[in-house]
Structure 1
């Protein structure tokens, strides 16, 4: 009679588990190298203009923009928020490009912008935190000649409130920073999330806690003390800032990286009393995929313009759907890697700062 007793698999030894992890990582990284060899380089057209760039102090974006500008204009000067009027008067650029105009900018920011325009120099700002600070950007937008925003929903809003020229320009990735790396054992996890513990993210992870408790999970960022289920997730938490270089390591080491956009509701860590809807994807969308890692993100309206859900990215609309997809892709390595590799080639072929700067400069 045939023995139908279910086979019991013995636990892997430490060396066997290490071998499996090493083999899986070698397979992923080898696939990434093959994909990167297929990506055609994008040569920026050189424009005969001088740009004074004013950074916001967030290297993941600033470094990508500066690198792309230096390849594409006659001269790129990097200034500072506190002295941009003085620097504009000294260098006489054709255009002053300001990143965001928020957070690190001084109280006389707009007076400086008006002074630059008084010198006959064109000014442009690129809002990359929309729509979460519209109470502030509403005033800022009126002072610039050209307003770029990564959030499609704010274009009409700025037009209605006095901005003369508003252009939707999505964000991108700096491939010199976010790229495939060989992941060391200390960075290897089943599931990774890096970001601030905004309330909508807290609610999601509280609901997922019993499921994630049995996985190898890495969660990092500020405000995660808000969690109710720290009894289950506390050992996974790494409170505080994770710098971009370490973020790349963790993205590369994770089997799955979760991306959750912050809520657009006013009063929930936002300054969005105008209730502008968030429709556009965040920079993390590009950065995760640029590392050759499987990404599962919540839905944003313009996501299908840049990625194909189920092909080069995965999406979820509820905690139960996210739970199911995490389990499914952890158990189906081939499908997980296929989506990750397609996401990598989409990102590196279409969504780098070099390509975005080419679009931006066409408008200037």
Structure 2
């Protein structure tokens, strides 16, 4: 496997497609990018993502972009095409890509729920076509298989140690830091309300100021932060808070690795997937409701030695789950599937 085509929305630092491109380049592969944002700028306009407008326009715009994707694949001749979030990939395009090499997909959102930004008719029709599909939840692996995906694999997120590394302050100004947008479920509001009287740092979109109903959180949000600012922000707090979105409750999210990779204690909402990735009270600390969150914060602040031990163990676990580890896993699977395909062709030709 020498040539990789990575397909994603754009190449902003920290996006999954950009991180994986760096990972494959470090592995010695020649990497090319296909960006939906670059080939069709209107796909990225704010108004188009409106639910009604999107449903009216996405197929027309997507078909034009798909032609450009196939053209680039024809020119580059990749051994592997890795698609990050395939909602704009037409099923015929998957088949066209497979004329050049294998085609893998990484579902960064849940493609079997009903949300229009996660799935559509093209995504569902593409389920049985991919050579391999990756997703961040063991439970969703099972659901993908039930929906026709032939080879689905649990593929956790990872640590990006090039950008996320310890930047600890000697005297942290926050007890807890949370980086995350306001969520319509209001679950995040309830959790943050429970610890609002501690030194709480909050970063996210302006929805925290315009949509949040908890008075104790009003005006607390310091705005969005860049990907590069994450370690500095987490380094300014004694612990980093991870509250899962509803779609991630059966799995985990990117914060699972971002927080411990910066040498910060991860205080996370509990899920079975997370418990398997970071051991409870050894590599991370967990909670399942606002009261338990508050109890854990109070306990940890009174026991800095316990915090130190868990923080270091979590950091070491994060270092064992880097982007280089994930792309190596993908490369090994590529070799396995390619070997099986070649053997099948030889068998057919020999008959």
- TM-score of the superposition, structure 2-length normalised? 0.76
Kindly indicate whether residue 2 of structure 2 is the aligned counterpart of residue 49 of structure 1.
yes
Task: Structure 1 unaligned segments of length 5 or more: list them.
Answer: 1-47, 265-276
Contact 2:74 2:100 in 1 (8 A): no
Q: How does 1:1-364 map to 2 (within 5 A)?
A: 48-57=1-10, 59-60=13-14, 61-81=16-36, 82=65, 83-102=68-87, 105=88, 109-117=90-98, 119-130=99-110, 135-136=119-120, 137-183=123-169, 188-200=173-185, 202-206=186-190, 208-209=192-193, 212-222=195-205, 223-224=207-208, 225-230=210-215, 232-239=216-223, 241-264=224-247, 278-348=249-319, 350-364=320-334
**Whole-angstrom CA distance in 2 between matches of 1:109 and 1:254:** 45
Q: Supply the distance in 2 between the matched residues of 1:213 and 1:195 (Cα, whole angstroms).
A: 15
Q: Counterpart of 2:296 in 1: which secondary structure? A: helix
- CA separation of 1:164 and 1:214: change in aligned 2, threshold 3 A: closer
Partner of 2:46: none
Contact 2:239/2:264, CA 8 A, preserved across alignment: yes
Q: CA deviation at 1:195?
A: 0.9
Residue 48 (structure 2) aligns with: none
C-alpha distance in structure 1 between counterparts of 2:83 and 2:188, whole Å = 35
Distance 1:155 1:206, change over 3 A: closer
Question: What is the alpha-carbon root mean square deviation over aligned residues?
Answer: 2.4
The separation in 2 between residues aligned to 1:229 and 1:53, in whole angstroms, is 42
Q: Is the 8 A contact 2:91 2:125 kept in 1?
A: no
Cα separation, 2, equivalents of 1:113 and 1:188: 50
Alpha carbons 1:180, 1:290 under 8 Å: kept: yes
Residues in 1 aligned to 2:222 and 2:190: alpha-carbon distance in whole angstroms: 16
Contact 1:151–1:168 (8 Å) recurs in 2: yes
C-alpha contact 1:293 1:337 (8 A) present in aligned 2: no
Task: Please tell me whether the aligned partners of residues 182 and 189 of structure 2 are also in contact (alpha carbons under 8 angstroms).
Answer: no
The alpha-carbon deviation at position 283 of structure 1 amounts to 1.0
Relative to 1, partners in 2 of residues 1:220 and 1:109: Cα closer, same or farther, differing over 3 Å?
Answer: farther
Q: Report the CA distance shift for 1:89/1:98 in structure 2 as closer, same or farther (over 3 A).
A: same
State how many pairs are aligned. 294
Q: Is the 8 A contact 1:191 1:254 kept in 2?
A: yes
Contact 1:219 1:237 in 2 (8 A): yes
Offset of residue 281 of structure 1: 1.3
**Offset from partner CA, 1:30-77 (integer Å, 9 cap, x none):** xxxxxxxxxxxxxxxxxx421111234353233331122012244222
1:303 is paired with a residue whose SS is helix
Displacement of 1:181 in angstroms is 1.7
Once the two structures are TM-superposed, the CA of residue 261 in structure 1 deviates from its matched residue by 0.7
Report the more deviating stretch, 300-309 or 221-230: 221-230
Highest CA radius of gyration, 1 or 2?
A: 1
CA distance in 1, matches of 2:188, 2:166: 28
2:246 match: secondary structure:
coil
Q: Cα distance 1:247–1:140, how it changes in 2: closer, same or farther (>3 A)? A: farther
Could you tell me whether the CA contact under 8 Å between 2:106 and 2:135 is conserved in 1? yes
1:98-138 deviation digits (Å, cap 9, x = unpaired) = 11224xx4xx6444333323x34321111122366564343
1:189, distance to aligned residue in structure 2 (A): 1.6
